[in-house]
Structure 1
């Protein structure tokens, strides 16, 4: 029997990139609902078919950096012990409401997103997207 995804749950995650193992930054990552996941995929993926020769292979374009950024923007639900680079004090997690296809979503502010290194965005995106998948037990059924 399948179980639905819990879009209201956030799980703690410690980055592999964090050098401070004793006082690590804890990221709280959540899931993307199916509408938001589809929106992000549609915004960052395109396919092109040759109209002249139907036997030509299709081209797929994936803007992975933009996809990862959007996944983190909507999938990151909070953090603890993330330091502001300006004063080295813990940064307050802040969000804004964003309307997508008539539905309001909570999104991390651009200011906070801009403070996350690309490698961290890529890592967090991978974790968030993995959480959106079926578990091994569910796949077997």
Structure 2
């Protein structure tokens, strides 16, 4: 009986390990091919003078590539964001919760990516 149990375990353990390796590899491929996370924009007000949005970026999320108008931005929840310009230039910006910044309008389009470990939430007022 002991020989039968050892033989059974000797065969089953490698089979389960092989199966687990295949499943793990398939899951890793699924993550690699998954679409990148996108920003979540909630329009709070939009009229002929201003557009007010709440921008949420989870870790790894990116915004669309676009030029930005003159704006006032307040960090409701701070974090680390990276601007990626079309020419490949990158710029890291740290936001502290409660911090307010004024950004000039820019014709250069760029993507904003959350490279931090926490969600970043910005309250953005765009002047038209």
Q: TM-score, normalised by structure 1?
A: 0.23
Q: Which has the larger radius of gyration?
A: 2
**Quick check: which one's strand share is greater?**
2
**Quick check: which one's helix share is greater?**
1
Q: TM-score, normalised by structure 2?
A: 0.24
